[in-house]
Chain A
Amino acid sequence: MSERRRHDLCDLPLLEVARRIRAREISPVEVTERVLERIAALDGMLNAFITILAEQARHGARQAERDVLAGDYRGPLHGIPLSVKDLFATKGILTTAGSRILARNVPDFDATVVERLRAAGAIIVGKTNMLEFAYAAVHPDYGPTPNPWDLTRSSSGSSSGSAVAVAAGMGYGSIGSDTGGSIRLPAAYCGIAGLKPTYGRVSRHGGIPVSWSADHFGPMTRTVADSAALLGVIAGEDPRDPTSGRVPVADYLAGIDSGVAGLRIGITDSYLRQHVDPAVQAPIDAAIATLERLGATFHEVNLPPPAEAVPALLALLMPEATAYHLTWLREQPESYSPAVRERLELGAITPAVSYLQAQQARRQIVDGFLAGMADVDLLLTPTAPTAATPLEGDLVTGDEADPELLAALINFTGPFDLTGFPAISIPCGFANGGLPVGLQLVARPWQEGPLLAAAHSYEQATAWHRRLPAALDM
């Protein structure tokens, strides 16, 4: 752990920087310059950004400074440097989705999440690197984003650049997307918080899709409260997204200190121990003990297992992805990385009957989770079966679609993309000599408030989130 960097402005929580900006102790201009310096120092090594928006960020910071000094303070994101994954449309700014196909794509509009961040006064410092079209493989034109805790390890994906940018202090938060685990897995590998909200909670308008029925957008930050602040801004109904939920958005920060005393948390072997590396299991068991000390109680629950939920998710998302990509797949298949091309071809050969069986399974599995969670407030699982794997031979850097390896990776995260239930990954320890381990908490639909409060309570009782990647001290 770095002692030297922990008090650096770039490594403070978003809400602490927001407090200082509001109190006029620091200026958005100073904060933005420090973040841009950090990006300039580290991004050559970490490859977290596809586009860095230095001049636009400076312009926005000067405007934010004027606003704050004039008494027009818009809330906790005002003047805060953030990033967004490079699949969100940004008006007049390159939006590549990590692909060769969209290498020159410049949208003429902002995605809803970008629009809402800008309206809240956030400073977007860059568009983050990602797996090609968020589909589980790196495109060679962009290259992998190494893990800042160990540069020889994977940062997973697909929101790899977002996770690494946040972990390395290159902005105070980022917006990622999650269709099988693409917010939570890189968050777990990189030691940060990553929230996948309920399906429909955050508008999908302006995000390049993997799967219309399983894509979720959400915040990635260094603390849970920071995620609550970001969610409060980006959440809410949007008529431009036909699946946007008409459910009121709570004040997530107001309820963040509710604690876990009295909460009932469900566990079951298939979501706790099966296929889990012992080096990951130990921190998970310790986290259960910590939550018990904080007043939560644990109860065995009966849930549809990953062996049912993950195949259903893949049978849905793969044909949906292929449907979106079909014209490009027919006309320029060589533009894709080999693994993404293979996954799209697998989607093309998936029978319509299988797709509909997956929709039948989805209904049964959602019913099964609602019944299984009837007597508990939350579920607890590991986020990933292992800590960060070596970049060499990793799924995301390989040339093959490898459906079995993909299914194993998303064993604990994918079921909640299928069901749409909200889930958060938070750091809960370290494995294998210093690689972060992620704990996943899951709530019933629309219950992000209690979910964030429980995650915050655990975080405040531990110090894992305060550690910084020692690999960056060079």
Chain B
Amino acid sequence: MSEPLPEPLTAELLRAMAASAGVELPPDRAAAFVAQAEPHFALLRALAPAANPTTEPAATFRLDDWPSDSDV
């Protein structure tokens, strides 16, 4: 299975990733952010062994007895 997480992490890469979610990381902030992102991505890489294509994700989506927005 291909590795979905980029290496190495750079300030420019983090800026682009944040921008894709609409979050602006100024250049100086992005440079300092690399030190926080590296251990975060190390944790995410620990998930790779779970990525067995036969495992259904635990997120649920059921339409039996669906509460509408106005009910909740």
Is there an interface contact between A326 and B22, defined as CB atoms closer than 8 Å?
yes
For A166-193 the 0/1 string (1 means CB < 8 A from B) is 0000000000000000000000000000
A241, A318, A359, A366: most-surrounded residue (chain B CB, <10 A): A359
Closest Cβ neighbor of A322 among chain B residues: B21
Residues A239 and B71 in contact in the complex (CB < 8 Å), given A360-B55, A361-B47 = yes
Q: Which of A16-24, A309-317, A433-441 contacts B (4 or more CB under 8 A)?
A: A309-317
Q: How far does the Cβ of B17 sit from chain A's closest Cβ, in whole Å?
A: 4
Contact B23 A329 (CB under 8 A): yes
A308 touches B57 (CB 8 A): no
User: When A and B form their complex, what is the total count of cross-chain residue pairs whose Cβ atoms lie within 8 Å?
Assistant: 109
Contact assessment for B37 and A346 in the assembled complex, using a CB-CB cutoff below 8 Å: yes
14 residue pairs A–B, Cβ–Cβ below 8 Å: A307-B46, A308-B49, A311-B43, A311-B46, A314-B43, A318-B40, A350-B44, A354-B47, A357-B48, A357-B50, A360-B50, A360-B51, A361-B47, A363-B57
CB within 8 Å of B: which A329-379 residues: 329-330, 333, 342, 345-346, 348-351, 353-354, 356-364, 366
A404 within 8 A of B: yes
Q: Are A330 and B40 in contact (CB under 8 A)?
A: no
Is A402's CB within 8 Å of the partner chain B? yes
Map CB proximity to A onto B3-30 as digits: 1 under 8 Å, 0 otherwise.
0110000000010011001111100000
Residues on A with C-beta less than 8 A from B55 are 360, 363-364
In contact, B47 and A357 (Cβ under 8 angstroms): yes
Distance in angstroms from A122 CB to nearest chain B CB is 24
| Residue from the list B4, B37, B47, B71 in contact with A358, Cβ < 8 A | B47
What residue in chain B is nearest A347 (Cβ atoms)? B21
Tell me whether B4 and A354 are in contact (CB under 8 A): yes
> Does B63 lie at the interface of the complex (its beta carbon under 8 Å from any beta carbon of A)?
no
Q: How far is the CB of A62 from chain B (nearest CB, A)?
A: 35
